[in-house]
Structure 1
């Protein structure tokens, strides 16, 4: 009994210290120098499940709950645009059982976010970016429902990168531009960076280029994510698996971003 009480006391003490540190970090954040657009590579769901002795797909449910929590942190801080990398084109090569569970999860979460009272209270526009036509019809319908319900909002933007690949996004943009050239709607010599920007999946955003990209799990690469838009993004790599990503980890990433001097090639 004494050991149980001691362990409980230590946990409470640790929680208290973390809360104090969290408040300290919040005070260090400059509200006038926040990233306008944060993109997140949510990595480590399957490894979390393995560590907990659960099936791999169960980690994705934990990850989805974490995503909901992190979106609240970004909104409370006033960050206008968030893009979440949830499912890449390469992920279609995973075991069928895992993909089926993921598709069910996506369907549930798009309906859930579309009916979330806070989404409407804070006027958050929800959009899926990627090759949506490759997804099951019921997932496409859930996405359409969420997008339709939020299409007139512009206070905040949440983008879910699903069936997404950065190189493929550029290919799709080039195809659209080529069609316009073919129809005589655009001259080849008029094609510039802005032309490509206007044909990317992120063209609807007020800030298409992420200021900060966060990746969890300790991996240090961007894995074909927003490769056009991230030319001058600041990168922050965090060792924790996504389901264990804490608010102090998030605030540390913001603090680190604010300590950097952004030169944009100058």
Structure 2
């Protein structure tokens, strides 16, 4: 019988080999599906959060308008979301629009609002990706800051997918983690006052957690947080939800170019860390 250290070495070697193959080969769509099926047989994260950064720099580098960069970023979202769904990842959260983004030029903000309205409805159209995989769409953020037409699109998109229960897509906009935590604390206080419970002991970490917008929509703790474009900061995204075991990955790839060959090595690294944690628990017990 193979002892645990040897098994761990074999698993690590296999993961390194698979990553080397990814680096060297361009594979067909059928081969991609087979690869994802093999990966899905191992440990899979429940929640992947992504800061979709680099659309504007990508556009400038390609000689495109900024609006075109955001449009290409939407196509990257579809591509990466399908990979996540094929891996049976339960929840994906993407940082689509920060509250601070309203400070950008009026032309860019107007273009982003138009894109949000159109793509929300496109994501949920008949026979589309979310319906095919049974994904419930949540728009998480301070929605009152949106123009009325975008709010209408949000309500329609959420209504169309509310019965889907296989997985969750959180589109965070307009969002900031500090705003989400502040709103959660305010909710805890209002609830305590309504119950005539003035004891601070009644508001705990678990109480605040349960009032977070994303948690109320069914999101588990974040296993992996990815930021594209080479920038190494979290920019006020999912700060509470990133638990002690959350892996942070900073990819140099601009978001519109991000795809399978960027994402699979991240999953491999996460799987490797899971095997090593299990190994450590086994030998401490």
Q: Mark yes or no: TM-score above 0.5.
A: yes
Q: Deviations over 1:145-165 (max 9, x none)?
A: 011111122101000000100
The answer to which structure has the higher helix fraction is 2
User: Which residue of 256, 265, 268 corresponds with 1:252?
Assistant: 265
User: Which residue of 156, 162, 168 corresponds with 1:151?
Assistant: 162
Using the TM superposition, give the Cα deviation of residue 178 of structure 1 relative to its aligned residue in structure 2, in angstroms. 1.2
**Residues matched between the structures, number:** 250
- 1:63-78 mapped onto 2 (5 Å cutoff): 63-78=73-88
- 1:1-266 mapped onto 2 (5 Å cutoff): 17-19=25-27, 26=36, 29=39, 31-117=41-127, 118-184=129-195, 186=197, 187-232=199-244, 233-261=246-274
Deviates more, 1:74-83 or 1:112-121: 112-121
Q: 1:203 to 1:27 in 2, by over 3 A?
A: closer
Q: 1:67 to 1:179 in 2, by over 3 A?
A: same
- Take 1:176 and 1:35, find their aligned partners in 2: how far apart are those partners? 30
Q: Deviations over 1:133-183 (max 9, x none)?
A: 101110010000011111122101000000100011100111111111222
Aligned to 1:158, what secondary structure does the other structure show? strand
Contact in 2 for aligned 1:37/1:210 (Cα 8 Å): yes
- Take 1:130 and 1:238, find their aligned partners in 2: how far apart are those partners? 25
- Take 1:148 and 1:22, find their aligned partners in 2: how far apart are those partners? 32
Contact in 2 for aligned 1:25/1:248 (Cα 8 Å): no
Using the TM superposition, give the Cα deviation of residue 31 of structure 1 relative to its aligned residue in structure 2, in angstroms. 2.6
- Take 1:116 and 1:240, find their aligned partners in 2: how far apart are those partners? 32
- Take 2:132 and 2:38, find their aligned partners in 1: how far apart are those partners? 28
Contact in 1 for aligned 2:42/2:271 (Cα 8 Å): no
Aligned to 1:19, what secondary structure does the other structure show? coil
Give the alignment's TM-score, normalised by structure 2.
0.81
Aligned to 1:164, what secondary structure does the other structure show? coil
- Take 2:41 and 2:53, find their aligned partners in 1: how far apart are those partners? 27
Contact in 1 for aligned 2:192/2:202 (Cα 8 Å): no
Contact in 1 for aligned 2:37/2:87 (Cα 8 Å): no
Using the TM superposition, give the Cα deviation of residue 122 of structure 1 relative to its aligned residue in structure 2, in angstroms. 2.2
- Take 1:30 and 1:108, find their aligned partners in 2: how far apart are those partners? 32
- Take 2:253 and 2:32, find their aligned partners in 1: how far apart are those partners? 17
Deviates more, 1:200-209 or 1:33-42: 200-209
Structure 2 portions without partners, runs of 5+: 1-22
Q: 1:28 to 1:121 in 2, by over 3 A?
A: closer
- Take 2:62 and 2:36, find their aligned partners in 1: how far apart are those partners? 31
